[in-house]
A = this chain, B = another copy of it.
Amino acid sequence: MTAPTSLSTALAVALAWPALVTADPLPSWNDGDSKARIIEFVERVTDPDTQDYVPPADRIAVFDNDGTLWSEQPLYFQFYFALDQLAARAEADPALLDDPLLKSAVEGDMAAIAEAGTEGLLKIVMASYADQSVEDFIADARAWLATARHPETGLAYTDMVYQPMLELLRYLRDEDFETFIVSGGGIHFVRAFSESAYNIPPQNVVGTTGETSYSLADGVPTVTKDPGILFIDDKAGKPVGIDMHIGRRPIFAAGNSDGDFEMLEWSTAGEGPRLGLIVHHTDAEREWAYDRDSHVGQLVRGLDEGPDRGWVLVDMAADWAKIWPKEPQ
């Protein structure tokens, strides 16, 4: 007599199951400490019955871009764009090649570029867009992103965004966080794809900002990218950029290099519950493995001090079931 009842109960439970359990918000994260701590944090700050409850307006989450939301090896993707733009410009205006550094850049002489250091890199980037309107720059960046392919994977650059981080961004937004990008990359370059790639609108992108000016260009009101840098959004510049653009201290901050150290330090030092997260590139097979000695995305202090500060150190190889939305062919 009991068997049929149990059976029907079991059946009823089985049928109701999909409605009873919450779907996994982070399906591309393997079960483990990183995933558990993220979910525990989000559940805690969104539960009005806990002391740690944070009202939605204060649920500010900031993300570095290069190496945190998409890949950054062997060189920042924006730099490939700058090289291609510079080459196109030099075709129209060969006088640009009178400059030995720009000539090296157009010829793809990476050794010469590396030797020129940060200053040289900035010079190349600025020469690639100087005197262009912001609207034209963004249109060019979108056209480039639509066709350019990564030299090693053959993927479109926007297909090298991290699937687990897309899920994290969406999870946070579903829980009434407002998500921002705080990038050392150029603010206009990141805005060219932030909305389509991450569902982050331009007003939620903070980045390194070149000088711009407003004028009537042949009578048309135009904002133009000028040479010169107004603001570098890196290291101690990240809290400054967040204060300038957002005006609230984040309660969640994610990065991957020591360029993010101050952002995580400041974000996690405020009162109440806070979480810092570092993406540690440990997966030489599916992506790249690098940290202390890398020329791109160098990570030293974050490794040494992060765990003691309570920051989640994401081990890409162990924590991520998937890297990019599509695998390379």
Residue numbers of A with Cβ under 8 A of B are 57, 134, 178, 187-188, 191, 195, 201-205, 209, 212-215, 220-221, 223, 230-231, 236-240, 243-248, 262, 265-266, 269
> Residue A213 contacts which of B209, B213, B214, B240 (CB distance < 8 angstroms)?
B240
Given the known inter-chain contacts A220-B269, A221-B265, A221-B266, please indicate yes or no for A247 contacting B213, CB distance below 8 A.
no
- The reply to whether A203 and B266 form a contact with Cβ atoms under 8 Å apart is no
> Residue A214 contacts which of B134, B221, B262 (CB distance < 8 angstroms)?
B262
- The reply to whether A245 and B212 form a contact with Cβ atoms under 8 Å apart is no
Contacts of A212 in B (CB 8 A): 240, 243-244
Chain B residue nearest to A269 in the complex (CB): B221
Q: Is the interface of A mostly helix, strand, loop or mixed?
A: helix
Contacts of A245 in B (CB 8 A): 203, 245
Given the known inter-chain contacts A187-B244, A203-B247, please indicate yes or no for A236 contacting B215, CB distance below 8 A.
yes
- The reply to whether B191 and A223 form a contact with Cβ atoms under 8 Å apart is no
Please report the C-alpha to C-alpha distance between residue A32 and residue B249 in the assembled complex, in whole angstroms: 44
- The reply to whether B214 and A240 form a contact with Cβ atoms under 8 Å apart is yes
CB distance from A243 to the nearest CB of B (A): 5
Contacts of A240 in B (CB 8 A): 212-214, 223
Please report the C-alpha to C-alpha distance between residue A239 and residue B202 in the assembled complex, in whole angstroms: 15
> Residue A202 contacts which of B204, B209, B223, B246 (CB distance < 8 angstroms)?
B246
19 further contact pairs, Cβ within 8 A, besides A214-B238, A214-B266, A230-B230: A134-B243, A187-B244, A187-B247, A201-B247, A203-B245, A203-B246, A203-B247, A212-B240, A212-B244, A213-B236, A213-B240, A214-B236, A214-B240, A220-B269, A221-B265, A221-B266, A221-B269, A230-B244, A245-B245
CB distance from A3 to the nearest CB of B (A): 57
- The reply to whether A248 and B214 form a contact with Cβ atoms under 8 Å apart is no
Please report the C-alpha to C-alpha distance between residue A46 and residue B203 in the assembled complex, in whole angstroms: 21
Given the known inter-chain contacts A214-B236, A214-B266, A230-B231, please indicate yes or no for A202 contacting B244, CB distance below 8 A.
no
CB distance from A182 to the nearest CB of B (A): 12
CB distance from A197 to the nearest CB of B (A): 15
Contacts of A213 in B (CB 8 A): 236, 240
Please report the C-alpha to C-alpha distance between residue A215 and residue B316 in the assembled complex, in whole angstroms: 31
CB distance from A83 to the nearest CB of B (A): 24
CB distance from A12 to the nearest CB of B (A): 42
24 contacts across the A-B interface (CB closer than 8 A): A57-B195, A57-B201, A187-B247, A202-B246, A202-B247, A202-B248, A203-B203, A203-B245, A203-B248, A209-B244, A212-B244, A213-B240, A214-B237, A214-B240, A214-B262, A214-B266, A220-B269, A221-B265, A221-B266, A223-B239, A223-B240, A223-B243, A230-B244, A245-B245
